[in-house]
Amino acid sequence: MSFKEVLSDYDWDDIGMRIRSCKPAQVEKALSASTPTLDDMVALLSPAAEPFLPLMARRAEEITRCRFGHTIQFFAPLYLSNLCANECTYCGFTMSNAMKRKTLSEQDVLAEVRVLKEMGLDSVLVVTGEHERKVGIDYFKQMLPVIKTHFSYVALEVQPLSAADYQTVRALGVDAVLVYQETYHRREYARYHRRGNKQDFDWRLATPERLGDSGIDKIGVGALLGLSDWRVDSFYTALHIDYLQKQYWRSRYSLSFPRLRPCAGQPTHPGEISNRQLLQLICAHRLLNPGIEISLSTRESAALRDRILPFGVTSMSAASSTEPGGYSNPDSALEQFSTDDKRSVTEVANAVRAGGLEPVWTDWCQAYSG
């Protein structure tokens, strides 16, 4: 059974009603469960769980330290291109933005690599806009070997690819692929995605299954918080991970919780999730899934990242640039979204140490493989 078929058995409005109607007793039951279930996740995501947040945070911190130690993995996004053939109402790369577009050459990529290596980074997330003709598999075949030569761990966040193309990028050294559904609400998804291949909800939904079939080491999923009801989208994200872990148990999984940020040419969307609710969401996923990797990006402020870090987070970006060439030659090319945490890698590392944790620059699973 595909995840599309699993998803069809769940009704968005029904899940939302179940979450909103939860009582404190249901939250207490979820918190007392030795192995929480998806039904418990409904309670942990509910408004009724908010008074229990201090207890949820303590439990989440204990589980994280037990499973991942006192470490935080560091990475940086490496943007190769802001070309995009999609029209998405929340993204600075959307094709209708009459802004400067840029795709990095091999020389440009090497310049970016040099700066990132000087920062001490050994793990990168390669990102492009979604433009299959100009920034597709042929471009990746050219650039990925250049990047992999310099970094022990390379993740990819680009347009959904075919199963054959995922096998190709895996052979080129890609260790992880991130693909966010944005929202699991079909009607809202159609409203935000107005043109291009990204309009195809089902093709995007099935991407993690193609990744699992290709044997990718780590698969990243998530929803863009603020497009729809974050509580319901978060339940569906948990449902998706539960399905994937049962079907593709050889792969690792990661979660990210991006909140909408201002971007060029687009109105600022009203944020539907507060800082406190973001912490609740992170803790809920940690309690449900002790082994999941959780990432926190520079979309969030320095103060918030430092505060939330102990309660479930296992990796974080630092000194991020979301424009192509932004590390070696920032020239006001179009960025995908604005970041909030502007600190250097050294400053972020010092803050992590001040919080009693230790930055890790190399993915330990890869370091000890082979």
pLDDT bucket at 364, cuts 50 / 70 / 90: low
Which structural domain, as residue segments, surrounds residue 91?
A: 51-367
Max CA distance (Å), the chain: 60
Is the whole-model pTM more than 0.85? yes
In the prediction, which pLDDT does 97 show?
A: 67
Spatial CB neighbours of 343, under 8 Å, sequence gap ≥ 6? 302, 318, 319, 351
Domain presence at residue 41: no
What would the mean pLDDT of 179-197 be, rounded to a whole number?
93
Domain presence at residue 93: yes
Res. 271: pLDDT tops 50 = no
Res. 240: pLDDT tops 50 = yes
In the prediction, which pLDDT does 145 show?
A: 97
Res. 337: pLDDT tops 80 = no
In the prediction, which pLDDT does 368 show?
A: 45
What would the mean pLDDT of 41-61 be, rounded to a whole number?
98
Number of domains composing the chain: 1
Res. 365: pLDDT tops 70 = no
Spatial CB neighbours of 231, under 8 Å, sequence gap ≥ 6? 16, 19, 20, 45, 46
CATH at residue 115? 3.20.20.70
Beta bridge partners of 195: 87
Res. 238: pLDDT tops 50 = yes
Domain presence at residue 168: yes
Task: Give CA–CA dist 292/314, Å, rounded.
Answer: 9
pLDDT bucket at 85, cuts 50 / 70 / 90: confident
Beta bridge partners of 360: 73
Domain presence at residue 46: no
In the prediction, which pLDDT does 129 show?
A: 85
Res. 358: pLDDT tops 50 = yes
Q: Is the Cα dihedral 167, 172, 174, 178 positive or negative?
A: negative
Res. 140: pLDDT tops 50 = yes
Task: Give CA–CA dist 301/145, Å, rounded.
Answer: 34
In the prediction, which pLDDT does 344 show?
A: 93
pLDDT bucket at 131, cuts 50 / 70 / 90: confident
CB 88 within 8 Å of CB 194: yes
Domain presence at residue 179: yes
pLDDT bucket at 338, cuts 50 / 70 / 90: low
Res. 224: pLDDT tops 60 = yes
Phi and psi for 161 in degrees, rounded to 5? -115, 170
Helix, strand and coil content of the chain, in percent to the nearest 5, comes to 45, 15, 40
Kindly state the helix (H) or strand (E) to which residue 235 belongs, with its residue range. Answer: helix 230-247
Domain presence at residue 177: yes
Task: Give CA–CA dist 126/147, Å, rounded.
Answer: 9
CB 230 within 8 Å of CB 281: yes
Kindly state the helix (H) or strand (E) to which residue 42 belongs, with its residue range. Answer: helix 38-44
In 3D, which of 265, 326, 330 has the Cα closest to residue 99? 265
Beta bridge partners of 317: 75
In the prediction, which pLDDT does 40 show?
A: 98
DSSP classification of residue 49: G
Domain presence at residue 119: yes
Domain presence at residue 127: yes
Res. 195: pLDDT tops 80 = yes
Q: List the beta strands (DSSP E) in 32-188.
A: 71-81, 87-88, 123-128, 153-157, 176-178
Specify the length of the chain in residues.
370
Kindly state the helix (H) or strand (E) to which residue 12 belongs, with its residue range. Answer: helix 12-20
Comparing 41-45, 98-102, 136-140, 254-258, which segment has the lowest mean pLDDT? 98-102
Kindly state the helix (H) or strand (E) to which residue 246 belongs, with its residue range. Answer: helix 230-247
Task: Give CA–CA dist 212/163, Å, rounded.
Answer: 9
Task: Give CA–CA dist 113/45, Å, rounded.
Answer: 40
